[in-house]
Amino acid sequence: MKITVFNGSPRAEKGNTNIMVEAFLEGARASGAEAETVFLTHKKIHPCVGCYTCWLKTPGKCAIQDDMAELLPIMYASDIVVFATPVYVDNVSGITKNFMDRMIPVADPYFEKDAGGECRHKITSKVPKIMVISNCGFPEQSHFQVLKLLFKRIARNMSTELIAEIYRGGGAILSEKSFMLWFPLRHYKSLLRKAGGEVVKHGKISAELQEELGKPIIPEAQYIKSAEMYFKKELAKIGHK
């Protein structure tokens, strides 16, 4: 099984999203998957210009010559694609959105009705199953409501299955050095590894594990207090209150 992660955090290797991805992939690899992460910020991906060349002039091929030409074949060759993104302004990061816009060569212009009677474009390429890994700065899990709906729609648009979603509110804790060896953080990473194993073995995350993954790593009030202390300390360094 081939899993490809498209990580849309501008912080790439050093980001909180990647900390989640690494633990997840560790579990997936231990269960036999072949897995790689593509850091989108290291790639040249221009915004879609809406010229429809990929539909009407050179079907399946975009007019823009940049790194998307190598990324789409990687997607087609994967069994599972993971969209990994931080929450930016209640949505996916701009890098991720750019990447998703440039995926339109997977479809052709013709309309078809889905099972619910709603139109979508006909998918002409082999598309993988998809999943999501995301984190955000605020502590509540409710900050993922836009992403939850968005990826449900993306799976519908791509005529594929959204097999798993891992969302982590209070994501700043993941890279907080003083918490590295702290038991709750190590426990959370072990849950991510388990999720990687379950996705490879069963093609989904069990309801029990999903519930565990959604629990706060640190009590909300403690998270807010430590965030405030951090901002205060950083602003004091520049003489700002």
Residue 83 contacts residue 6 (beta carbons within 8 Å): yes
Closer residue to ligand FMN (CB): 128 or 171 = 171
β-strands 129-135, 80-86: how paired?
parallel
Question: Is 177 among the residues that bind ligand FMN (CB under 6 A)?
Answer: no
Residue closest to ligand FMN when measured from CB atoms: 15
Closer residue to ligand FMN (CB): 85 or 160 = 85
Closer residue to ligand FMN (CB): 105 or 171 = 171
Please, which residues bridge with residue 43 across strands? none
Among 135, 163, 164, 213, binds ligand FMN (CB under 6 A): 135
Size (the chain), residues: 241
Closer residue to ligand FMN (CB): 9 or 37 = 9
Question: Is 172 among the residues that bind ligand FMN (CB under 6 A)?
Answer: yes
Among 88, 176, 204, 212, binds ligand FMN (CB under 6 A): 88
151: left (phi over 0), alpha (psi -120 to 50) or beta: alpha
In the stretch 42-81, what mask flags binding to ligand FMN with x, by CB under 6 A?
Answer: ----------------------------------------
Q: How many residues bind ligand FMN (CB under 6 A)?
A: 17
Question: Is 27 among the residues that bind ligand FMN (CB under 6 A)?
Answer: no
In the stretch 95-134, what mask flags binding to ligand FMN with x, by CB under 6 A?
Answer: ----------------------------------------
- CA-closest candidate to residue 5, choices 33, 40, 29, 38: 38
Q: Is 57 exposed, middle or buried (0-12, 13-18, 19+ CB in 10 A)?
A: exposed
Question: Is 8 among the residues that bind ligand FMN (CB under 6 A)?
Answer: no
Question: Is 138 among the residues that bind ligand FMN (CB under 6 A)?
Answer: yes
Closer residue to ligand FMN (CB): 172 or 205 = 172
Min. distance of Cβ 83 from ligand FMN in angstroms?
13
Question: Is 137 among the residues that bind ligand FMN (CB under 6 A)?
Answer: yes
